[in-house]
Amino acid sequence: MTNILLIYTGGTIGMVKEYDSGILKAFNFNKLLKHIPELNQLDCHIDSISFEHPIDSSNMNPTHWIEIANIIEEHYESHDGFVVLHGSDTMSYTASALSFMLENLAKPVIFTGSQLPIGDLRTDAKENLITSIQIAALRTGGKPVVREVGLYFEYKLYRANRTTKINAEHFQAFASLNYPQLIESGVHLTVFKEYLLKVHPRKKFKVHKIMDRNVAILKLFPGLAAVVLESILNIPNLRGLILETYGAGNAPNEPWLVDILRKGISQGIHIVNVTQCSGGSVQMGHYETSEQLKNLQVINGKDITTEAAMAKLMYLLGSNISESLFKTVFETPLRGEMQ
């Protein structure tokens, strides 16, 4: 039997409602089978571990990402797959970060959560959890089918660093608009093998634990004042900025904007161009309004999500990539996060 480790960080999926007060509280994961007896029918052994103090995902930060990475590292040899239960609000950020932190991953790490508590009558938690465990335990020829960080929600497994949360109320809370789903759950689990990440099994698993938090995000909008951009780029110790631009990577071609960006880049700040559209890709130079960004050597985020761009920026800044190589490395797919 495969050994699966369930890691509970917090979030709605691990909550039960007290009938007398109606208050949601985290349940004891040592009593998991009491709440979900269906897990007894799965053909795998399930262990569980919980954060000492489960948190709302709005409070998630890189310190918690490292805690998750440490748990996976400690149990990597003893377990065949991992399921991380996480609040949906920042799940794409955390899952994207883990995809970079877990280098040469050869086992499944599946993130999931729910929109309703596990004890709710209409909950989506049970299906998400049960199927995530099944996917983590899925093997062919004695090897795991999935060997990357995935995110499972509402019948679909996506590459985690391709996802974004698109809805706060629907069960279909996540989408991967620039990359196809990896697995679809129906009567059977349909695996789209051609989209799974290809791994190099001989390379040693390595966990990176330094994520540089000296980064920021700025979403362009009509009427952006020069003082706003200037203030952000003058933040003490700022090392990287995600610039969410219009459409295919376009920005106003106002001289002041170009001058401020040029100054920021000359001070060693890495500026990444990502589109604020839900889907599609940055194509710098395609329009006149992105030509100046290309000339400034702004980093091309291509079709990366904002969540993955932020995680990748923190990861690369923490990896001490040389200034001369940084742009090239960022523009290179490392974990299937861009094309």
Query: What angle (nearest 5°) sits at the alpha carbon of residue 185, between those of residues 310 and 302?
Result: 25
Which amino acid, residue 230? E
Of 305, 298, 179, give the one whose Cα is nearest residue 250.
298
* Active-site residue, from 2, 9, 12, 305: 12
Q: How many angstroms separate the CA atoms of 1 and 88, rounded? A: 30
Of 179, 166, 2, give the one whose Cα is nearest residue 83.
2
Q: How many angstroms separate the CA atoms of 44 and 67, rounded? A: 25
Bridge pairing between strands 270-275 and 240-245? parallel
Which one-letter DSSP state was computed for residue 246?
B
Catalytic residue list contains 305: no
Q: Which parts of 37-154 fold into alpha helices (H)?
A: 62-75, 91-101, 125-137
| Active site positions, annotated | 12
